[in-house]
Amino acid sequence: MDISEKIKDDILNSRLPKGQPLRQKDLSVRYSVSRIPVRDALLSLKAEGWLVPNGKAGVMIPDLNWQEAEDLSFMRAELECQLLKLAFDHITQRDIAAARDFLEALNEKNLTLIHRGELNWCFHDSLYRAADRPTLHREVERLNRQAVRYLGFQYGPLAYRQTSQHQHEALLGFVESRNKHAALVLLRQHIEEAGALLANYLKERD
């Protein structure tokens, strides 16, 4: 893993403190690298929403909250359905085969949360990229990468992994059978149901 992935993994596994400044010097010692790759990683993670500003030039790990989780779900549902709608008629058998490979990889046991989040995005991306809409695609990818911060809840206490995989299988089946309406309805359900479950869980923890 590169430095960004290592920091993400430590965030997901609560090995770095939330709500406290992250120091480049401390991180460079922790990961045995110079400050330059640490600085670049922090800038990248800030852009992805994994870190937020702290002080004049610092960053920190924000607390996870239900409003952010709900907002991410709202935005993803709208934009991903639009992207799939634009892509649907252009999805090839090669795209479907790639999605199938990523779906099978997601069934592997002992995946890290980071790897699981990456595979989940790759599965969806296999169906979206045929839209050839780079601006929309970049925003959808950004939202997905930001949402990975919440995977620890979805695959931990919420036990949502099996449900998510069943929905992935059904979604791919609708794409293969060229049932556009059913695919779009299921995709929205897939995102909104998981988002509502997560937001309600986080509300109860507050």
Distance CA 91, CA 84 (A): 9
- Encode pLDDT of 35-75 as tens digits: 999 999 999 999 888 898 887 768 999 888 899 999 999 99
Supply the pLDDT for residue 62: 87
Half-sphere CA count of 29, side-chain side, radius 13 A: 4
Question: Which band of pLDDT confidence, cut at 50, 70 and 90, is reported for residue 183?
Answer: very high
Q: What is the mean pLDDT of residues 129-137?
A: 98
DSSP state of 133: -
Q: What is the mean pLDDT of residues 23-27?
A: 92
Are 87 and 128 contacting, i.e. CB atoms less than 8 angstroms apart? yes
Assigned architecture for domain 3-60: Orthogonal Bundle (1.10)
Q: Is the pLDDT of residue 137 over 80?
A: yes
- Which value, in Å, is the radius of gyration of the alpha carbons in the chain? 18
Supply the pLDDT for residue 58: 86
Q: Supply the pTM of this predicted model.
A: 0.84
**Domain range summary for the chain, segments of one domain joined by +:** 3-60, 66-205
Supply the pLDDT for residue 19: 85
Supply the pLDDT for residue 136: 98
Supply the pLDDT for residue 79: 98
Residue 109 CB neighbours (<10 A): 4
Greatest mean pLDDT among 50-59, 102-111, 138-147, 181-190 lies in 181-190
Domain 66-205 annotated CATH 3.40.50.300 = no
Distance CA 137, CA 17 (A): 32
Equal fold, 3-60 vs 66-205: no
Supply the pLDDT for residue 70: 96
Question: Which band of pLDDT confidence, cut at 50, 70 and 90, is reported for residue 190?
Answer: very high
CA dihedral 145, 106, 189, 90 (to 10 degrees): 80
Q: Is the pLDDT of residue 81 over 80?
A: yes
Supply the pLDDT for residue 13: 84
Task: Look at 179 and 20; give whichever has higher pLDDT.
Answer: 179
CA dihedral 69, 76, 125, 201 (to 10 degrees): 30
